[in-house]
Amino acid sequence: MYFSLNSIILSRTAFREDDLLVKIYSQERGKLTLVARGAKKIKSKLAGHLEPISLSFLESARGKSLDQLIGAQIIKSYAGIKNDILKTAYANYFLELLDELTFENHADRRVFELTRKYLDFLDTAVYNDLVIGRITAVFKLLSFLGFNPAHKAELGFKNEINYVVSKGLSEIKRNIKIISVLSKLDKILKAELEEHLRQNLKSEEFLKNITNTGVKDG
């Protein structure tokens, strides 16, 4: 059985001598781990299309334990993110969070589109918008996955959280009330993530370190 997959590359790791394990979030099948045979070889035609923080069109075939990548074509490389260490940190944070919070073979088109749009945003964003972009994207992700903090009776800021979940970033940025409570919303978000994550995100620690070494975070 063969599959065509519009995919966001989450990560890749070495596997055996010449292969790569590629973790993706696809529009058609959700999160998957695929094996790319020979992708570590210098002459491999696959490797350049499988870089993390990329949108690629992939072709795969069903395998015994892991599906195999048989074709790949990069659609968007997000050079604006990859050439900026802070934007790369923000992108890796979201992609690692997506990986931690989702199961394999559970497709959700909303999650795919949210991730694609967030990377599109990061690709051209100014630094002052990075924090609000992150908060907005993560609240939406939690809502799509059934973890919306606004549903908890003991929490304040229900209206503000629901607004962030339901509106686009351009509208949120113009809402003075939301901007005034952004730090409080961020604290609620961090507490919610601590409840659902099994371990600390590696990319979160890197993001903290890089923003503490002189790179402006919002």
Q: Mind spelling out the 3-state secondary structure of the chain?
A: CEEEEEEEEEEEEEECCCEEEEEEEECCCEEEEEEECCCCCCCCCCHHHCCCCCEEEEEEECCCCCEEEEEEEEEECCHHHHCCHHHHHHHHHHHHHHHHHCCECCCCHHHHHHHHHHHHHHHHCCHHHHHHHHHHHHHHHHHHCCCCHHHCCCCCCHHHHHHHHHCCHHHHHHCHHHHHCHHHHHHHHHHHHHHHCCCCCHHHHHHHHHHCCCCCCC
Q: Specify the pLDDT at position 43.
A: 67
**Higher-confidence position of 200 and 4:** 4
**Is pLDDT of 218 > 50?**
no
Q: Specify the pLDDT at position 16.
A: 79
Domains and CATH numbers, the chain: 2-76 (2.40.50.140), 79-211 (1.20.1440.120)
* pTM, to two decimals: 0.91
**Higher-confidence position of 14 and 77:** 77
Q: Specify the pLDDT at position 87.
A: 97
